[in-house]
Amino acid sequence: MGELLSQYDVLGAFWMNIKLTVLAAVGSFVIGLVLALCRISPIGSLQKFGAAYVNIVRNTPLTIIMVIGVLGVWSQLQVQLSSDFDFNFFLYAVACLSLYHASFVCEAIRSGVNTVPLGQAEAARAIGLPFMDAARLVILPQALRGAVTPLGNTLIALTKNSTVAAAASVAEVSGMMKTMMEFRPDVMVFIFCIVALGFCLIVIPIGICTTWLSDRLAVAR
Amino acid sequence: MSAQPTVLFDAPGPRGRRNILLLNIVGVLLVVGLIVKVLVDLAQKGQLAGHLWINAINGAAWQDYLLPGLQFTLQAAAISVATSLVFGLAFGFLRLAPFAVIRWGASIIVEFLRAVPVLVMMVFLYTALAQVSRTTGAIAAEDSPYYAVIIGLTLYNGSVIAELIRSGVNGLPKGQREAASAIGMTRNQSLLLVEVPQAITAMMPSLLSQIVIIIKDSALGYLIGFYELLQYSRQLGSGQGNMLQALVVAALVFIVLNTVLTLVARWLAGRLSSRTSGATALKPGPAGSSAPHL
């Protein structure tokens, strides 16, 4: 099996998935945080914008977002994100993954805020804390703890969804697996097991960390 | 504009209301500005030309591309829903079995299937089925993407449903199980007649949002050559030279379909809460993605 692994750079393909995941995690966190701020603000127009974004994006398949990005925005509208051909597609994949998962990050943060009972805010106001202090010292620390589990779940989903970058012809692991299986159908179960185990090795530790963190940080109420 | 207090914001006073009104106007201007900017950019590239959009939504487009595509999407999704339910119920029971060996075996399978991306499973199944059709001819070669999509969706979503059932049963109040054993039911009778039915009622809303995930993930079949809505709309787009417009129309079809299902799930969550001692509320987690509770 050694020659199979030396012929195809499986580790390199996995590394591509990890790069996609990390960059899209940062991107989706930033966009998701802005959306969540819109949705929990008392400003009606921003609330509606946040809600509309989340409801539209959450109900669209990621594959179609990726294909709209590559065949619609790149090929038809000719929007170049980078002059380097491969890097351009990589950026498209990161952008699509970020835009898609931002809606889930937004909902994760919002559900974290919703775990804080109203009484906490009332108590903070009752002891005379102004808005910023109440938010900084009382509400947000509890809200962030409540958001750990849904954020971890979103990160796991993002890790697995990084394979959809195959739709943007990024050299990631599901595309490589397809090529390997076409040339070596005799060892296809072995190839599948390697890729599947690779994902188990990435995904299961994230799940364990999330559970550990959320147990450790759980707010006793 | 919300006047009732939320966790972060108290009910605003007169000055607060004035500030909110001002920020609201700024917000409207920002959002409208963004939309206008996108539309102007599209118009400058000639993408708003009437014929491009009309060709993506006229009768011929629906008849030759969108409806056949939608039919295959819905067909694959409907079959997958049924098979995932069977798979999920079976493995849900196995994970609650009285013998530790069975419980552990079922748990390992379920956790494995939830950790592997659906696309990776589909690619493997597609290649394997194509191999089977080449060597034995048991299935037609052109059907292998279709079966790969259905089996892939079943394995993944079935495991999610198995987990829903297990956590649903564990989430029931202890009194249900105690009452069942107090009237002389065995552990299996209690599971079968008292706990699992309530767990299923409690998970109905989550199950419906799982259908949204199945419909969305069926679009992954595009990547292994399954002819579903996305594949058809891409063909429409390359035939008419309106790829962006055709894909946007396909996305809108998905959005409308999934929004309706989400609304039904939310309505059901409110209605079913009186019929079970479990919690029917939809989990606020990622409704459109895989959320393993590892």
Identify the pLDDT of residue B4.
Answer: 59
Residue of B nearest to A182 (CA): B127
Q: Does domain B52-275 have CATH number 1.10.240.10?
A: no
* Residues B97-128 pLDDT 10s: 888 999 999 999 999 999 999 999 999 999 99
Residues 134-193 of A with CB under 8 A from B: 134-135, 139, 143, 149-150, 153-154, 156-158, 160-161, 163-164, 166-167, 173-174, 177-178, 181-182, 185, 188-189, 192
- Through-space distance between the first and last CA atoms of chain B, rounded to whole angstroms: 39
Residues of B in contact with A207 (CB under 8 A): 292-294
A128 contacts chain B (CB < 8 A): no
What percent of chain B clears pLDDT 90, i.e. is strictly above it? 47
Instruction: Tell me whether B53 touches chain A (CB under 8 Å).
Output: no
| Prediction ipTM score | 0.90
C-alpha to C-alpha distance for A36 and A47, rounded to whole angstroms = 9
For residue B282, the model assigns a pLDDT of 58
pLDDT bin (cut points 50, 70, 90) of residue B82 is: very high
Asked if the structure places residue A186 within a domain, the reply is: no
> For chain A, which residues score pLDDT lower than 70?
1
Q: Does any CB of chain A come closer than 8 Å to the CB of residue B249?
A: no
Confidence label for B285 from pLDDT (cuts 50, 70 and 90): very low
Measured at the CA of A39, the angle between CA A33 and CA A44, to 5 degrees, comes to 140
Nearest residue, CB atoms, A113 vs list B7, B42, B120: B7
**Residue A64 within any structural domain of the chain:** yes
Average pLDDT, chain B: 86
Would you say A128 and A207 are in contact if contact means Cβ atoms under 8 Å apart? no
What local confidence, expressed as pLDDT, does residue B49 receive? 83
- Enclosing domain of residue A65: 19-171
The pLDDT assigned to B288 comes to 34
Q: What is the pLDDT of residue B293?
A: 32
Please tell me the pTM assigned to this model.
Answer: 0.89
Residue A72 lies in a domain: yes
Is A179 a member of any domain?
Answer: no
> What does the alpha-carbon distance between residue A65 and residue B248 come to, in Å, rounded to a whole number?
9
User: Within a domain: residue A148?
Assistant: yes
pLDDT of B291 > 70? The answer is no
Say how far apart CA A108 and CA A35 lie, in whole Å.
11
Number of inter-chain CB pairs under 8 A, A vs B:
227
Q: What is the pLDDT of residues B161-216, one digit of tens each?
A: 999 888 888 888 889 989 999 999 998 889 889 988 888 888 888 888 889 999 99
- B246-283 pLDDT, tens digit per residue, is 999 999 999 999 999 988 888 888 887 777 777 766 55
DSSP secondary structure code for residue A81 in this structure: S
- A129: domain CATH number? 1.10.3720.10
B8 touches chain A (CB under 8 A): yes
- Residue A133 inside a domain? The answer is yes
Give me the number of domains chain A comprises: 1
Q: What is the pLDDT of residue A1?
A: 65
First-to-last alpha carbon distance for chain A, in angstroms, is 54
